[in-house]
Amino acid sequence: METPFYSVRMRASSGGKHIAGAERMVEQDEVGAVTFALTTRAMSAASGVADEIHCSVERIDPKTINYGKLPDLFTNEVSGFEEGRQRAAQLLNQAGVDLAIAKRAIQLLADGPGPNGAVMSGAVLLNMKTGERLEADQRRGVRVTRMDLSAACRTQSEQQLLAHGLGHRRVLEALTLAGKVLAAPGVVAELCWSDDPDYTTGYVAGPAIGYRRITTMKQRGDSKGGRVFMVDTEAVNLAGLVMYLEKQPVLFNEPGRIIRHDTGVITDG
Ligand code: AMP
């Protein structure tokens, strides 16, 4: 019998405000340790003291899992957040998004994409042609879950990233999430920077450009951030896309390449 997997999800809030979240997909013997690690993380979130932490565990049928390769990672060193945002607009454009829509996505994250500038727990879905928001709930957004790395791929990727000075857990987590998003039907690009006031790195990713880290996307101390997925609505049925993002299990079993400096070359670093 194939080994079952479990989706482990954590989300934490303070005064009704999202402050931390994480998702893993692991084998049975890891569920206890992962639940412990995610709860511990929620207890020490930089964005506030959690007054509610929800951790859920759901069994996944191994036959439903899609397997894949992580995207290649390129790093863009920038001197400050203005240059970082300019670079992000160029990269979104390279990924296939009009400059005006790219700038709208950046502004959304800069302002806080939730109601009254709040941080969302999930992502904004943005129509890449009109700039219209597509997510049903603008407070929550769409939360991507049920993705992880196989144990061997995790070990290899961690070693590889560490060797490039990218050992921060956030890098591999974001790469995993982006890997699932880039394989989503109709998604042309993703923009992300964290709402964590101490973590200023962000990225742009797209099927056509891979995963492009940008070293500075906001000023230290700024607690706004989030994710925007830019969608070609002519290429996909929205309900099908949301179903894929929220429910389709994806396990990466092959690391991507790490390219230290982004030279602007898209397919071969
Ligand atoms: P983080 O990288 O964890 O700091 O998250 C930054 C922002 O990305 C959060 O405020 C959410 O808006 C969004 N986000 C985090 N995790 C997910 C996810 N699994 N699916 C969709 N959006 C997410």
pLDDT confidence of residue 252: 98
Q: What is the 3-state secondary structure (H, E, C) of 173-233?
A: HHHHHHHHHHCCCCEEEEEEECCCCCCCCEEEEECCCEEEEECCCCCCCCCCCEEEEEECC
pLDDT at 18 over 90: no
Query: Which residue puts its alpha carbon closest to atom 1 of ligand 1?
Result: 194
Cα(177) to ligand 1 centroid in Å equals 9
| Predicted confidence (pLDDT) per residue in 41-67, tens digit | 999 877 778 999 999 999 999 999 999
Task: Answer left, alpha or beta for residue 81, where phi above 0 means left and psi between -120 and 50 means alpha.
Answer: alpha
pLDDT confidence of residue 264: 56
Q: Residues with Cβ within 6 A of ligand 1?
A: 21, 23, 119-123, 143-144, 174, 177, 192, 194-196, 225-227
pLDDT confidence of residue 269: 31
Cα(84) to ligand 1 centroid in Å equals 19
Q: 154 pLDDT band (50/70/90 cuts)?
A: very high
From 90, 85, 95, 126, select the one nearest 210 (Cα to Cα): 95
Query: Which residue puts its alpha carbon closest to atom 6 of ligand 1?
Result: 194
Tell me what the mean pLDDT of segment 18-39 comes to. 95
| Predicted confidence (pLDDT) per residue in 179-220, tens digit | 999 999 999 999 999 998 999 999 999 999 999 999 999 999
Q: Tell me which of 45-54, 117-126, 164-173, 250-259 is least confident.
A: 45-54
Cα(268) to ligand 1 centroid in Å equals 29
Query: Which residue puts its alpha carbon closest to atom 23 of ligand 1?
Result: 122
Q: Which atom of ligand 1 is nearest to the CA of 192?
A: 8
pLDDT at 242 over 80: yes
pLDDT at 266 over 50: no
Indicate the burial class of 5 (C-beta count within 10 angstroms; 0-12, 13-18, 19 or more): buried
pLDDT at 109 over 60: yes
Tell me what the mean pLDDT of segment 132-147 comes to. 96
Cα(96) to ligand 1 centroid in Å equals 23
Q: Which residues of 164-174 are buried (b: 16+ CB within 10 A; e: fewer)?
A: eebeeeebbbb
Average pLDDT, the chain: 94
User: What percentage of the chain reaches a pLDDT higher than 90?
Assistant: 89
pLDDT confidence of residue 267: 40
Query: Which residue puts its alpha carbon closest to atom 19 of ligand 1?
Result: 144
CA distance 224 to 197: 8
